[in-house]
Structure 1
Amino acid sequence: MKLGFSSYTFHQRVATGEMSLTDVIDWVADSEGEHLELAAIYRGADAPIPNEESDPSFVETVRSHAEKRGVPLSNLAVGADLSHEDAAEKTAEIERVKKLVDLAEALGIRTMRHDVVPHGVVPGDDSVVFEQKFPIIVDACRQIAEYAATKGITTSLENHGFFVQSSDRVRRIVHAVDRDNFKTTLDIGNFVCVDEDPTSAVPANLPYAMIVHLKDFYIRPAGFSAPDGWFSSRGGKALRGAIVGEGDIDLPGVIAAIKQSGYDEYVSIEFEGHEDCFVGATRGLANARRLLAA
Structure 2
Amino acid sequence: MIDLKKELSVQNYCFRHFKPQGPSAIARKVRECGLTHCEVTAPTDPALFAETKKAFNDEGVTIGSVSLPVAFSGNPDAERNGLAFAQFCGVKSVMCNFAPQRDFWKPFDVAAKLAEEHGVNLAIHNHGGYHWLGPKPMLAFVFANTSERIGLCLDTAWALDAKMDPIDAVKSFAKRLYGLHFKDFLYSPARQPQDVIVGEGNIDLPALIAALKEIDYNGYAALEFEGDVENPVPKLRKCVEAVYAAC
Tell me if 1:254 matches 2:208.
yes
Q: Which runs of 5+ in 1 are unaligned?
A: 41-49, 83-89, 119-131, 227-236
- Secondary structure of 1:11 counterpart: helix
1:1-294 alignment to 2 at 5 Å? 1=2, 2-14=7-19, 17=20, 19-29=21-31, 31-39=33-41, 50-51=43-44, 54=45, 56=47, 58-82=48-72, 90-91=73-74, 93-117=75-99, 136-160=103-127, 162-179=131-148, 181-220=149-188, 224=189, 226=190, 237-274=191-228, 276-292=231-247
CA distance in 2, matches of 1:280, 1:30: 11
Residues 39 and 167 of structure 1, relative CA distance in 2, 3 Å threshold: farther
Q: Which residue of 2 aligns with 1:230?
A: none
CA distance in 1, matches of 2:60, 2:210: 29
Task: Please tell me whether the aligned partners of residues 38 and 222 of structure 2 are also in contact (alpha carbons under 8 angstroms).
Answer: yes
Task: Please tell me whether the aligned partners of residues 187 and 212 of structure 1 are also in contact (alpha carbons under 8 angstroms).
Answer: yes
CA distance in 1, matches of 2:134, 2:168: 14
Residues 274 and 25 of structure 1, relative CA distance in 2, 3 Å threshold: closer
Aligned CA RMSD, in angstroms, stands at 2.4
- Secondary structure of 2:61 counterpart: coil
Superimposed CA distance per residue, residues 230-285 of structure 1 (whole angstroms, 9 cap, x where no aligned partner): xxxxxxx3421112222222222222211222113321001122473111211111
Once structures 1 and 2 are overlaid, which stretch shifts more, 208-217 or 154-163?
154-163
Residues 264 and 167 of structure 1, relative CA distance in 2, 3 Å threshold: same
Once structures 1 and 2 are overlaid, which stretch shifts more, 136-145 or 181-190?
136-145
Q: Which structure: larger Rg?
A: 1
Shift of 1:165: 0.6
Shift of 1:36: 0.6
CA distance in 1, matches of 2:163, 2:39: 26
CA distance in 2, matches of 1:208, 1:65: 32
Q: Which runs of 5+ in 2 are unaligned?
A: none
Between the two proteins, the alignment pairs up a number of residues equal to 239
CA distance in 2, matches of 1:258, 1:238: 28
Residues 240 and 80 of structure 1, relative CA distance in 2, 3 Å threshold: same
Which amino acid counterpart does residue 201 of structure 2 have in structure 1?
Answer: G
Which amino acid counterpart does residue 37 of structure 1 have in structure 2?
Answer: E
Shift of 1:182: 2.3
Task: Please tell me whether the aligned partners of residues 170 and 177 of structure 2 are also in contact (alpha carbons under 8 angstroms).
Answer: no
Identity %: 21
Which amino acid counterpart does residue 33 of structure 1 have in structure 2?
Answer: L
CA distance in 2, matches of 1:198, 1:155: 19
Once structures 1 and 2 are overlaid, which stretch shifts more, 150-159 or 103-112?
103-112
Using the size of structure 2 for normalisation, the TM-score is: 0.84
- Secondary structure of 2:201 counterpart: coil
Q: Which structure's relative contact order is higher, taking Cα pairs within 8 Å and 6+ residues apart?
A: 2
CA distance in 2, matches of 1:20, 1:202: 35
